[in-house]
């Protein structure tokens, strides 16, 4: 009996030793790479943001000037997201919002939108999607300029019926064979603009850098 206890204990200690050793190695690596990871993630975000917000439109540290946005059905979000505010000489020029189109052909389509203070879209980009390659993926800028069709559009310029693909009587083009994808994106952008119009003052509120 004693022997069994002893060998079990030994085995357990052995496993625990390796677990602790592994954790120590991981902690050390995390510690060493953490700063670089945060840096490259921010660079990546900045790269995306500057694609839709021209750099001459802001002079603030846009990555730091953030505002937490509570989940909202108009944005399609289920978790708190972050809005980035672009300011030029302290005057708010553009806000970058995240939105999700929940009804893509295969699941959610994640978008970022940049909206100017006058309610015009500065640009929209697809961040993540699972649409059919070669068919529904023309919403990516790398595949087709379709997404640029949103540039400079606003909710006041187009009526609610216009925010649809041409096939449904709207003003947006689409590609034959894949209408579900653009429908989802257009709807999500339209909703996000409604959200923007309803929350404009909060979005541009001066106090920033809460993150």
Tell me the closest approach of the beta carbon of residue 141 to other proteins, in angstroms: 15
Give 134 or 206: the residue with its C-beta nearer to other proteins: 134
Q: How is residue 121 written in tokens?
A: 């879209």
One DSSP character per residue, 21-62 reads: HHHHHHHHHHHHHHHHHHHHHHHHHHHHHHHHS-GGG--S-T
Q: How far apart are the first and last CA of the chain?
A: 58
DSSP 206: S
Selected from 33, 51, 118, 166, the binder of other proteins by CB under 8 A is 33
Selected from 6, 9, 14, 107, the binder of other proteins by CB under 8 A is 14
Distance set, CA 44 to CA 21, 38, 173 (Å): 33, 10, 30
CA–CA distance, 111 with 188 (Å, rounded to integer): 9
Selected from 1, 4, 5, 36, the binder of other proteins by CB under 8 A is 36
Beta bridge partners, 96, equal 84, 114
Choose the stretch contacting other proteins; rule: CB under 8 A; options: 34-42, 110-118, 150-158, 193-201: 34-42
Site for other proteins contains 44 (CB under 8 A): yes
CA–CA distance, 73 with 195 (Å, rounded to integer): 9
Give 69 or 110: the residue with its C-beta nearer to other proteins: 110
Give 9 or 88: the residue with its C-beta nearer to other proteins: 9
Site for other proteins contains 15 (CB under 8 A): yes
Placement of tokens 């640009």 in the chain: 123
Site for other proteins contains 20 (CB under 8 A): no
Give 14 or 159: the residue with its C-beta nearer to other proteins: 14
Binding site for other proteins (CB under 8 A): 7, 10-11, 14-15, 18-19, 22, 25-26, 29-30, 33, 36-37, 40-41, 43-44, 133-134
């Amino acid at each position: 009996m004693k022997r069994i206890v002893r060998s079990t204990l030994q085995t357990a200690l052995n496993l625990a030793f390796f677990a602790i050793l592994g954790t120590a190695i991981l902690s050390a690596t995390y510690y060493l790479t953490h700063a670089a990871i945060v840096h490259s993630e921010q660079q990546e975000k900045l790269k995306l943001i500057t694609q839709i917000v021209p750099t001459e439109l802001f002079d603030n540290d846009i990555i730091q000037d953030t505002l937490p946005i509570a989940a909202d059905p108009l944005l399609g979000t289920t978790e708190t997201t972050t809005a980035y505010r672009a300011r030029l000489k302290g005057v708010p020029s553009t806000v970058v919002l995240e939105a999700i189109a929940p009804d893509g052909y295969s699941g959610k389509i994640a978008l970022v939108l940049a909206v100017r203070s006058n309610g015009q879209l500065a640009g929209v980009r697809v961040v993540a999607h699972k649409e059919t390659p070669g068919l529904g993926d023309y919403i990516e800028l790398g595949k087709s300029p379709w997404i640029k069709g949103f540039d400079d559009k606003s909710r006041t310029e187009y009526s609610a019926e216009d925010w649809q693909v041409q096939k449904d009587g709207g003003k947006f083009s689409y590609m034959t064979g894949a209408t579900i994808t653009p429908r989802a994106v257009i709807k999500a952008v339209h909703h996000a603009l409604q959200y923007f119009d309803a929350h404009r003052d909060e979005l541009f509120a001066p106090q920033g850098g809460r993150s």
